[in-house]
Amino acid sequence: MLVCGLILSGVSSLVFQVHAFWWVALLWLLAGAGGALVTVGGSSYLTRLSARGALGILSALYALSMTIGGAIGSPVAGLLIAQYGFGTFGWAAVILTAATVLIVITWMANLHGDATQPTSIHTLGGSIMPAFRQPMVRLLIGLRGLPTLFYGMLTVLMPLLINDLSGSKVMVAAYGTTTLVVASAAQLLAGKAADRWGARNPTLVAYATVVVAGLGLFFGARSVAGLFIFGVLGIAAAWSLSTLMYVWVADGVPREEHPATFGLLHAVWSLCMIGGSILGGWLVRLMPGLPFLVLGLVNIAPCFLAMLYYRHKAVEDAAHSAHSLHRA
């Protein structure tokens, strides 16, 4: 899955070599498909690879590596485009993708054999609905989707509002840099806490932080300092929840069902990013702080979903232990 996703991403980089609208549209669609395959493949590989006691910190490092890659790649891309143009940048992206595919094929162990029940290509599409029908997966949809609505709204509105109030692009850049640093540190902290104490309590703390950030942004929507501080806090909490998602799946979903579950959760994430952006843009026209209040308070619900999720897990673990003792 990783190889297929990377190949599609590499092919999509040819978009900088074409000029016809329909070719551009097709290649960007391939880019989206490739990104989805890489996301699902990488997530499933991570939960199979990890020793159970270290999944939290591994998830944080996995997310952090993407942040660092983006931080390094963005200025390099800008330099290539400024010096040599978009065509050269496109070929550089193709070469980089090909090198990554070679690394995956050569050095990454094939963990498919660890799956209890391998899924054939003919039944792959049909595995999503059975996953959706599971109560634990439906709870995961709520845990993943509701904070993503808040995060999608933040990514669109925060730079615009800070720019409107301050009139400074430097302030917007400082906000972006501070967000990357603080959110990355929060991911590492959340992952380490999940490994040491379990994911339930760090999850509740992260959701409570989202609610606090939403309230702070509502009352501080006309202040640059308020937007800056609570915006950074809200994104740090959202990134922490993204790290904890891998632990949620590993805690409550059988390993052979991880790919279908991650695929479903990635679709939920995509839809909620779009929904949060649109809803935030609509609500901000009524009142600057309204989208933060509404989508912040919505994240009270996942606190109860998280408690229910881990209560279900405790019941299932107890039933499994009793069954094992009975067989023994």
190 and 304, same structural domain?
yes
Mean residue pLDDT of the chain comes to 87
DSSP assignment of 160-222, as one string? HHHHHHH--HHHHHHHHHHHHHHHHHHHHHHHHHHHHH-SHHHHHHHHHHHHHHHHHHHHTTT
End-of-domain residue from the set 110, 136, 170: 110
Check whether 124 has a pLDDT greater than 80: no
254 and 138, same structural domain?
yes
Q: Which pLDDT score, from 0 to 100, does residue 44 have?
A: 86
More confidently predicted of 179 and 126: 179
End-of-domain residue from the set 110, 141, 169: 110
Q: What is the pLDDT of residues 270-309, one digit of tens each?
A: 999 999 999 999 999 999 899 999 999 999 999 999 999 9
Check whether 156 has a pLDDT greater than 70: yes
249 and 138, same structural domain?
yes
Check whether 132 has a pLDDT greater than 90: no
Range of weakest confidence among 14-23, 65-74, 144-153: 65-74
Q: At what angle do helices 301-327 and 224-252 cross, to 10 degrees?
A: 20
Give dist(CA 234, CA 147) in Å, integer. 10
DSSP assignment of 19-56, as one string? --HHHHHHHHHHHHHHHHHHHHHHHHHHHHHS-GGGHH
CB-based contacts of 68: which residues, under 8 Å, 6+ apart? none
Position 128 confidence tier, pLDDT thresholds 50, 70, 90? low
Domain that includes residue 87, residue range: 2-110
307 and 217, same structural domain?
yes
Q: Which pLDDT score, from 0 to 100, does residue 22 have?
A: 93
Q: Which pLDDT score, from 0 to 100, does residue 259 have?
A: 86
Give dist(CA 114, CA 17) in Å, integer. 41
Range of weakest confidence among 17-21, 78-82, 95-99, 145-149: 78-82
CATH number at residue 201: 1.20.1250.20
End-of-domain residue from the set 78, 110, 142: 110
Q: Which pLDDT score, from 0 to 100, does residue 115 have?
A: 47
Domain count, the chain: 2
Percent of the chain with pLDDT strictly greater than 90: 59
Q: Which pLDDT score, from 0 to 100, does residue 169 have?
A: 84
Position 73 confidence tier, pLDDT thresholds 50, 70, 90? confident
Buried b (16+ CB within 10 A) or exposed e, 258-271: bbbbbbbbbebbbe
262 and 167, same structural domain?
yes
Q: Which pLDDT score, from 0 to 100, does residue 328 have?
A: 55
Taking phi over 0 as left and psi of -120 to 50 as alpha, with beta for the rest, 178 belongs to alpha
Which H/E stretch holds residue 61? helix 55-84
Position 118 confidence tier, pLDDT thresholds 50, 70, 90? low
Range of weakest confidence among 103-112, 229-238, 282-291: 103-112
Check whether 121 has a pLDDT greater than 50: no
CB-based contacts of 90: which residues, under 8 Å, 6+ apart? 13, 14, 15, 16, 17
Q: Which pLDDT score, from 0 to 100, does residue 82 have?
A: 85
93 and 148, same structural domain?
no
Mean pLDDT of 23-51: 87
Contact 106, 8 (CB under 8 A): no
Distance of CA 297 to CAs 140, 208, 276, Å? Answer: 19, 10, 14
Check whether 245 has a pLDDT greater than 70: yes
Mean pLDDT of 229-233: 96
Q: Which pLDDT score, from 0 to 100, does residue 46 have?
A: 87
Answer yes or no: is 221 within a domain.
yes
Q: What is the pLDDT of residues 167-218, one digit of tens each?
A: 888 899 899 889 999 999 999 999 999 999 999 999 999 999 999 999 999 9
Give dist(CA 180, CA 236) in Å, integer. 8
Helix, coil or strand: residue 253: coil
